[in-house]
Amino acid sequence: MNDTGSDSTIPPDADSCGCGDAADDGCDVDYGHHDDGHESADGDVVTDGAGDSDVVRLSVPDMDCPSCAGKVESSVRTLDGIDAIDPQVTTGTLTVEYDATATDVAAVETRVEKAGYAVERDASETTFSVPDMDCASCAGKIENALDGVSGVRAYDTRPTTGNVTVSTDESASVADVTAAIENAGYDVAGTSADSDDASLDTESVWTSTRAVKTWTSGVFVALGLLFEFLLAGANATLVGAGGAVALGGVEITVADAAFLLAVLVGGQAIVTNGYYSLRNRNLDIDLLMSTAILGALAVSIGFGKSLYLEAATLAFLFSVAELLERYSMDKARNSLQELMDLSPDEATVKRNGEEETIPVDDVSVGDVVLVRPGEKIPMDGTVADGESAVNQAPITGESVPVDKTAGDEVFAGTINEGGYLEIEVTSEASDNTLSRIVEMVEDAQGNKTEREQFVERFADYYTPLVLAFAVLVAAVPPLVFGAPWVTWFVYGLTLVVLSCPCAFVISTPVTVVSGITSAAKNGVLIKGGNHLEAMGEVEAVAFDKTGTLTKGELTVTDVVPLNGNSEEDVLRCARGLEARSEHPIGEAIVAEADGAGVADHDIDDFESLTGKGVRADLGGTTHYAGKPDLFEDLGFDLNHVHATDGGVEATATRDLCERNDCLDLLEDAVPALQREGKTVVLVGTEDELEGAIAVADEVRADAKAAVQRLRDLGIDHLVMLTGDNERTAKAIAEQVGVDEFRAGLLPEQKVEAIEELRDRYDGPREQRPRSGRTSFGGVAMVGDGINDAPALATATVGVAMGAAGTDTALETADIALMADDLSKLPYLYNLAHDANGVIRQNVWTSLAAKAALAIAVPFGLVPIWAAVLVGDAGMTTAITGNAMRLSRITPRSLRE
């Protein structure tokens, strides 16, 4: 059963795409007026040429069988004015022609719903920048406000970025959503409807209006304390007994007046936000603090019990706490902003033979941009002219600049180190690699981890329980034991302050933001907090061989000259034979010969010998290159071949005959090379064997070190999965040091291998290998992101290698290593494992601190200022600082 549906408005010329025909299901359109140019419900003008009927096409995704379609059709036909009905099960759409004078769209939708099926309308998505939304409490207030807006289908609040993404149908506008957010007490700084990115507020926290009011409030608190304790003799009564103004039994001194002014200035924003919280039925810190402040003032003024100091302290210190929380959150947000700032705002393009500087948004695909030394590359593209070294660290995390020449791919945000480059643009600014990275990092922050979901569920119970405890503390001792009720009322207010769960609710998301953005800066794209969490807990890692543990490119590793020939002779003949071959082995041999500067051969009468090799005439002599079987068929005795002096030592695989100048190729040399994972090609004529060439997909230089580093970090099991033959797989496995290898696997067999590993490492703890950890386990699969997509999807975490510029790899994997660099894999695991530790530290430390403070309150050990500074501001700042430690983890060279 489908869970999504999409629709769009019928175009003005409906017949041009067939949408005017009820039977057509090639276009998914919304409803329109099919008369003489009336507007559709979406505002588009439509006609059908008939002039007397309207057509509506609705998305009914749950209508997915003929029985469903029958029910819907029967229900709609009960309406008057229905001319035709066409339910399309395959597309989940319902097309209805009707007489607008007899019925309308709303009635049709009602009849569909009466049949038991929901109608989904086309949704548009807008991102709103709400910089002041910097905590879970703020987000909750906005969510409650959005719940009351008709037409809002879904929303995603992200305090860590200060953005709210809202999905609406045509009945809700951007203005409606903006008004709802502002009615919740938060200003909207911008929207994605206004610009490409909803911009974050850049105003300094410490010079903002809130900060100025806070510092002013602090001055009044200081004045109040000065008169209350140091200048007690000058602390005259202003209101009440002996004062200039009489106000019943209430007495207000100079110190009290200063405290009241502190509350008036510093508490204004708090009480205002508390009002919005109450209006939106959100029990958050603003409402709790407003209750505490107003409660203290009510007792002071209404009952003559002086709690002005407590009210002023709450107003001032909580305002300081809010500033600290905003500053801490801005630090986390800035890590993402740094990614956004990698790409320049302007580009120099060559148009009509002239250079002009324009905004990057105005650069089109096919334009040629000019990049001079030291400048950032503004767009994805390919080098059309010029040579230079490009620093790709901002995208791939590579520490060494990469040489770029004509035809090479470059990415937006990378830096041109040396030469001049002309680059042909291959993607729009909104769709380049950097934009996709930023978008995925932003999306990743909305992907909640299991711990985050647990903490949020816990918070739903925490606040009511602590509030209930606060009421008991404030009421029971005075009523039951005759204790001073003012003292215990203050204790109750202190518990009200501690009842806000903000500190531990924010503990996971700020850690996830820090980890994901830190990884992105180092060339690792993590597509969700849940993937970060899962990667830190895996106990087994499975590697694809080709392109992951090996370079993925065949190269010549050994040249063995025979019967008096030199290496150059062997390569010259091999190149002539393989020059017309399209086989990867032939391409590797030609590349080696080119690199060695070997001269060309005249080639005639080329023939491919299927399954065995190739034949051609070189300089009038017939030559062959291919498998040992080919030369056995030609009648050669491969057990007794004369070796050229010095030509075999490099292979260390010879077995010389008694004269010490003969080589047994068939039994010793060829198998020895094959045991090293190499493919052997023999070269010769019909009369003479000239030499042997070994070709292999070389193991990456850092593969063995990466495997060992993962083992040192605590990974229990490392396995290689490959479709290659057993002998080659064994050779590679031994070189890199994996614990196990599985060869000859088809894609579906790789999936089965991953499922088997998951059963083992996701199973009961007693059935798993010794680990010493209490993690939930799991399996990571590392591959190229395209050929290994099924296995990547099956694994607990799928990790794609070398994903920069590769759409498929970016989309299929949970995590993408942007560069072709295995050293990033141990870094990734280390970062993820440490992130999980930081999350645990943050959650349990904040909970423990809150619990300890709450228990100590009834014993008079926690003054109200300590509850604010330690339980709220202190914990939030400490949690954010602890999370930002993840930015210090950087990839470590495997050669250290």
For 245, 304, 566, the CA distances from 249, given in Å and listed in that order, are: 11, 6, 114
Would you say 233 and 219 are in contact if contact means Cβ atoms under 8 Å apart? no
Single out the catalytic residue among 104, 284, 544, 569: 544
Residue stretches of the chain with pLDDT short of 50: 1-51, 196-201, 644-660, 764-775
Burial of 278 (0-12, 13-18, 19+ CB in 10 A): middle
**Entry field: residues in the chain:** 896
DSSP for 730-788? Answer: HHHHHHHT-SEEE-S--HHHHHHHHHHHHHHHSS-GGGSPP-S------EEEEE-SSTT
The percent of residues above 70 in pLDDT, for the chain, comes to: 80
Q: What is the dihedral angle through the alpha carbons of 515, 521, 522, 525, rounded to the nearest 10 degrees?
A: 70
Question: Distance between CA 293 and CA 269 in Å, rounded?
Answer: 12
416's tokens: 């041109």
Other Cβ atoms closer than 10 A to 22? 16
Expressed in percent and rounded to 5, the helix, strand and coil fractions of the chain are 45, 20, 35
Task: Compute the half-sphere exposure of residue 462: CA atoms within 13 Å on the CB side of its CA.
Answer: 24
User: What span, in angstroms and rounded, lies between the C-alpha atoms of 163 and 441?
Assistant: 13
**pLDDT tens readout for residues 365-382:** 889 999 999 898 988 899
Q: Structure tokens of 835? A: 């992130």
3-state secondary structure of 630: helix
Q: For residue 31, what pLDDT is reported?
A: 33
Q: What separation in angstroms does the CA of 334 have from each of 354, 518, 813? A: 38, 11, 26
592 contacts 571 by C-beta, under 8 angstroms: yes
* Structure confidence by residue, pLDDT tens digits, 386-396: 999 888 877 76
91 vs 81: CA distance, rounded Å: 25
Q: Answer yes or no: 544 catalytic.
A: yes
The pLDDT value recorded for residue 780 is 94
Give the number of C-alpha atoms closer than 13 A to the C-alpha of residue 442, restricted to the C-beta side. Answer: 22
Tell me the chain's radius of gyration from C-alpha atoms. Answer: 36
- Give the pTM: 0.64
Query: How far is C-alpha 842 from the chain's CA centre?
Result: 22
DSSP 317-331: HHHHHHHHHHHHHHH
Question: Which pLDDT score, from 0 to 100, does residue 769 have?
Answer: 45
CA atoms within 13 Å, Cβ hemisphere of 436:
22
**Minimal CA–CA distance to 826: which of 522, 623, 440?**
522
pLDDT at 453: 73
Helix axes 308-340, 254-266, angle to 10 degrees: 30
